[in-house]
Structure 1
Amino acid sequence: MGPLIVLLWAVAVIAACLVAGWLFRTVAIVATPHTIKRELRTAPLTASFGMLVIVIYIFVAIFAPLIAPFPEREIVGPEYMPWDHIHLLGTDNLGRDMLSRLIFGARNTVGIAFVTTALAFLIGAILGLLAATVGGWLDQILSRVVDVLMAIPALIFSLLLLTIFGTSIPTLILVIAVIDSTRVFRLARSVALNIVVMDYIEAAKLRGEGLWRLITREILPNALAPLVAEFGLRFCFVFLAISALSFLGLGLQPPMADWGSMVKENATLISFGDITPLLPAGAIALLTVSVNFVVDWQLHRASGLKE
Structure 2
Amino acid sequence: MTAFTIIYFAFLITASCAAAFYKYKSALLLLFTLLCVSLLAGLLGGSGVLVNIAIGFGLLAAAGGISYAFRESMVQILPGEGAKLMRTAPLTAAFGLLVIITYVIAAVFAPVIAPFGEAEVVGASFAPADDVMILGGDQLGRDMFSRLIYGARNTVGIAMMTTAIAFTIGTIAGLVAASAGGWVDQVLGRIVDTLMAIPQLIFALLLLTIVGTSVVNLTLVIALLYSPLIFRLARAVAGNIVVMDYIEAARLRGEKTWYIIAREVLPNITAPLAAEFGLRFCFVFLAISALSFLGLGIQPPTADWGSMVRENATLISFGEITPLIPAAAIALLTVAVNFVVDWMLHISSGLKE
TM-score normalised over the length of structure 2: 0.86
Question: If you compute each CA radius of gyration, which structure gives the higher value, 1 or 2?
Answer: 2
* Structure 2 residue aligned with 1:32: 78
Given the alignment of the two structures, is residue 262 of structure 1 paired with residue 308 of structure 2, yes or no?
yes
Q: 2: distance between equivalents of 1:194 and 1:3?
A: 54
Given the alignment of the two structures, is residue 49 of structure 1 paired with residue 95 of structure 2, yes or no?
yes
**C-alpha deviations, 1:244-282, integer Å up to 9, x for none?**
000000000000000000000000111111101100000
* Structure 2 residue aligned with 1:202: 248
Q: Secondary structure at the match of 1:91?
A: coil
**C-alpha deviations, 1:93-130, integer Å up to 9, x for none?**
01111111111000000000000000000000000011
Q: For 1:172-187, list aligned pairs within 5 A.
A: 172-187=218-233
Q: Secondary structure at the match of 2:154?
A: helix
Residue 216 (structure 1) aligned to one of 262, 270, 277: 262
Q: Secondary structure at the match of 2:219?
A: helix
Higher relative contact order (CA 8 A, sep 6+): 1
Q: Secondary structure at the match of 1:144?
A: helix
Q: For 1:123-134, list aligned pairs within 5 A.
A: 123-134=169-180
Given the alignment of the two structures, is residue 305 of structure 1 paired with residue 351 of structure 2, yes or no?
yes
Q: Which moved more, 1:144-153 or 1:198-207?
A: 198-207
Gaps of 5+ in 1: none
* Alpha-carbon distance, 1:43 to partner: 1.0
Q: Secondary structure at the match of 1:78?
A: coil
Q: Percent identity?
A: 65
Q: CA RMSD in A?
A: 0.8
Q: 2: distance between equivalents of 1:36 and 1:209?
A: 36
* Alpha-carbon distance, 1:56 to partner: 0.2
Q: Which moved more, 1:15-24 or 1:51-60?
A: 15-24
Q: For 1:105-116, list aligned pairs within 5 A.
A: 105-116=151-162
Given the alignment of the two structures, is residue 100 of structure 1 paired with residue 146 of structure 2, yes or no?
yes
**Equivalent residue letter for 1:153:** P
* Alpha-carbon distance, 1:235 to partner: 0.3
Residue 274 (structure 1) aligned to one of 317, 320, 331: 320
Q: 1: distance between equivalents of 2:177 and 2:328?
A: 40
Q: Secondary structure at the match of 1:152?
A: coil
Given the alignment of the two structures, is residue 89 of structure 1 paired with residue 110 of structure 2, yes or no?
no
* Alpha-carbon distance, 1:24 to partner: 1.2
**Equivalent residue letter for 2:262:** T
Given the alignment of the two structures, is residue 119 of structure 1 paired with residue 165 of structure 2, yes or no?
yes
Residue 245 (structure 1) aligned to one of 282, 291, 309: 291
* Alpha-carbon distance, 1:220 to partner: 0.7
Q: 2: distance between equivalents of 1:8 and 1:208?
A: 68
Q: 2: distance between equivalents of 1:208 and 1:39?
A: 40
* Structure 2 residue aligned with 1:161: 207
* Alpha-carbon distance, 1:195 to partner: 0.8
Given the alignment of the two structures, is residue 4 of structure 1 paired with residue 28 of structure 2, yes or no?
no
* Alpha-carbon distance, 1:38 to partner: 1.9
Q: 2: distance between equivalents of 1:8 and 1:304?
A: 38
Q: 2: distance between equivalents of 1:82 and 1:192?
A: 55
Q: 2: distance between equivalents of 1:172 and 1:219?
A: 32
**Equivalent residue letter for 1:305:** L
Q: Which moved more, 1:249-258 or 1:207-216?
A: 207-216
* Alpha-carbon distance, 1:33 to partner: 2.2
Q: 2: distance between equivalents of 1:154 and 1:17?
A: 35
**C-alpha deviations, 1:29-85, integer Å up to 9, x for none?**
211121212221221100000000000000000000000010001111110000101
* Structure 1 residue aligned with 2:238: 192
Q: 2: distance between equivalents of 1:40 and 1:201?
A: 35
**Equivalent residue letter for 1:43:** A
Residue 216 (structure 2) aligned to one of 170, 175, 186: 170
Q: 2: distance between equivalents of 1:136 and 1:246?
A: 41
Gaps of 5+ in 2: 1-46
* Alpha-carbon distance, 1:188 to partner: 0.3
* Structure 1 residue aligned with 2:20: none
**Equivalent residue letter for 2:335:** V
Given the alignment of the two structures, is residue 16 of structure 1 paired with residue 62 of structure 2, yes or no?
yes
Given the alignment of the two structures, is residue 63 of structure 1 paired with residue 99 of structure 2, yes or no?
no
